[in-house]
Amino acid sequence: MTGRERPDSLGLWEATAALPERLDEQLEASQRAVTGARLPDPSAVHSVAVFAHGAGRTAGAAVAAIAAPHAPTPVWVGAGPTVPAFVDAHTLALAVSCTGDDVETGSAAREAARRGAHVVVVAPEGPLAALAQGASGPTASARVPIVPNGATERAHLGPAVVALLTTLSGCGLLPDHASSVGAAASALRRKRDALLTPGGPAEEVARRLGRTIPLVYGSDGVTAVAAQRWKAQVNLNAKAPAFCAALPGLAHDELAGWGQSGDVTRQVVSLVLLRHDGEDQRTAALFEAVVRSVDEVMAAVLDVRAEGPDDVARFFDLVLTGDVVSLLLAAREGVDPGPVPAVEEAGAGPA
């Protein structure tokens, strides 16, 4: 199917291909916003709480994974309106919305502010942004914008990650990741060309997956979050089932479940392993053990390796690869990747 024949009513192909440029654009916008924002002193922050859902929650999970080896305070990520008991005046509450109008996130942000937390809204223009603009007092809310591009929430994951990293750096809770984001954007320009080339690596993965159900395995950290992104993008873009899990957890339970029904699973399930060169020896050995255990009960076992020297680059590399694969799966079936009527009919809003 040629590019002209791909149904794409919301412009997701173009938005996906623009990820490198959007990272650069978002970094500049975030740095400007953080420079002029009222942010808490790092000594006053004992915890970080991220409130979001959809792509915003994925962004929060990615930043929590990137921050884990560096941040002096824990980063908690939740969805929905519930605010955990630890949120208080020593909490930095990050209200993240890739649409700008998440009701649950707004509710959580207001409750966090009522408890004295310092709230930073990470969102494009909309009701949530207005929450920050109208705040006042010693813990007045601030806003770091997500630069929109006219596509759906799904296309805003990368900018949301950059906005969160820049905010935490501006608060003194993380090292400055600007150079990592810039290097990742440069590398993604080269990777994009390879992924979008006919017969390239993304097309080969999509071809081998075919109509089987992708089961995407990552490992603790950013590849686990990337596996969630792959699953969600196959669901939303290709309108097809997909599932994900992560090591080491899956080796304690899920792995045992492949001991039966191999005559069925080898017809319908393909395993995708998200790997990178920075894995420790234990993780590499677990991946090898997984392959030995399931090789005969899977339609295919595919290795997808992230490129890049750090977690920022690896995460964005896997995101771009998975996004293109999901679009190719949609194109193979003549499916428009944009609208998601099942989600909207369920009342979850646009995705």
- For 191-332, which CATH class? alpha beta
Average pLDDT per 10 consecutive residues for the chain, totaling 351 residues: 71 96 98 92 96 96 97 93 96 94 92 94 89 58 85 92 98 97 98 96 98 98 98 98 98 95 96 96 97 97 97 98 98 96 79 73
Helix ranges (H only) for the chain are 12-17, 19-35, 55-67, 103-114, 127-133, 157-170, 178-195, 201-209, 222-237, 262-268, 281-294, 311-332, 341-345
Residue 186 in tokens? 């440069």
Q: What is the dotted CATH code of the domain comprising 3-176?
A: 3.40.50.10490
Q: What is the pTM of this model?
A: 0.95
pLDDT of residue 3: 43
Domains 3-176 and 191-332 equal at CATH topology level: yes
pLDDT of residue 51: 97
pLDDT of residue 129: 84
pLDDT of residue 2: 42
Task: Give me the helix-helix angle, 157-170 and 55-67, nearest 10°.
Answer: 40
Domain coordinates in residue numbering, the chain: 3-176, 191-332
Q: Provide CB contacts within 8 A for 45, sequence distance 6+.
A: 73, 90, 91, 92, 118, 171, 173
